[in-house]
């Protein structure tokens, strides 16, 4: 186990926040991140972010109310101003069934870095615009059987779709960012649309 993992992760999160705020370029981000990963001492890690601002605590999209208290606040909590929040997920994977009904996941609902949505002859909306997004990959397994799953993402959050449509549709609407940078948050959607639909929309 890496003895410096907590310090290394905090430094990487600080670096991600600085890049999101436009304080450093992508090239500089990549160089510093590589040095942090290879550093063999705490000083070697912290020296890469010593000149960067400390991330502010994450707030709601209104900028004042705190996020749900159901998750412990840690130094890893980051803010992505103007688009979406970034916060480390530590809960259990979300399981979201919907059978012949209408289910809407809105607000600060995401509790981990993965979710499974199964919709049978119904409608499910997964709204990611007001919940904090985990750093790195958010994996969503979407299964729509004679129903629909709509995934709403904030502008600028990249999405990759590999869901398979069988007598149905699975697509990303125009305007959704699809260029993935694995060092930054992104959504990966897999699954099956069987005589149903899985649609991703940017709002």
Confidence (pTM): 0.61
- Spatial contact of 129 and 153, defined as CB atoms under 8 Å apart: yes
Coil vs helix vs strand at 75: coil
pLDDT tens-place string over residues 158-173:
999 999 999 999 999 9
d(CA 83, CA 71): 21
d(CA 130, CA 28): 30
- Going residue by residue through the chain (203 aa), what tens digit of pLDDT does each one get? 567 788 888 887 787 777 767 788 878 888 888 888 888 898 999 999 998 877 654 433 333 333 333 333 333 434 433 367 888 877 888 899 998 899 999 998 998 999 999 999 999 999 999 898 988 899 999 999 999 999 999 988 999 999 999 999 999 999 999 998 888 899 999 999 999 999 999 98
Domain ranges for the chain, please list them: 5-46, 94-202
DSSP secondary structure letter of residue 133: B
Phi, psi of 19 (to 5 degrees): -65, -45
Taking CA atoms, 26 is separated from 18, 46, 92, 160, in Å, by 10, 19, 32, 21
Q: Which residues contact 6 (CB under 8 A, 6 or more apart)?
A: none
d(CA 203, CA 201): 6
The DSSP H or E segment spanning 37 is helix 26-38
- Spatial contact of 171 and 122, defined as CB atoms under 8 Å apart: no
């Amino acid at each position: 186990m890496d003895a410096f993992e907590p310090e290394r992760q905090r430094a990487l999160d600080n670096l991600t926040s600085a890049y999101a705020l436009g304080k450093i370029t992508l090239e500089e981000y990549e160089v510093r991140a590589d040095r942090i990963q290879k550093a063999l001492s705490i000083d070697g890690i912290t020296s890469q972010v010593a000149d960067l601002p400390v991330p502010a605590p994450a707030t709601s999209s209104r900028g004042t109310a705190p996020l749900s208290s159901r998750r412990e606040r840690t130094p890893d909590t980051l803010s992505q101003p103007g688009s979406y929040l970034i916060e480390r997920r530590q809960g259990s994977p979300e399981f979201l069934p919907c059978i012949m009904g209408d289910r809407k996941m809105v607000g600060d609902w995401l509790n981990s870095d993965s979710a499974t949505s199964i919709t049978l002859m119904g409608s499910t909306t997964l709204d990611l615009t007001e919940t904090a997004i985990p750093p790195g990959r958010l994996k969503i397994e979407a299964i729509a059987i004679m129903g629909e799953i709509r995934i709403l993402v904030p502008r600028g959050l990249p999405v990759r779709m590999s869901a398979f449509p069988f007598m149905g549709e699975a697509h990303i609407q125009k305007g959704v960012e699809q260029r993935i940078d694995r060092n930054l948050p992104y959504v990966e959607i897999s699954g099956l649309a069987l005589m149903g639909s899985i649609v991703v929309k940017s709002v």
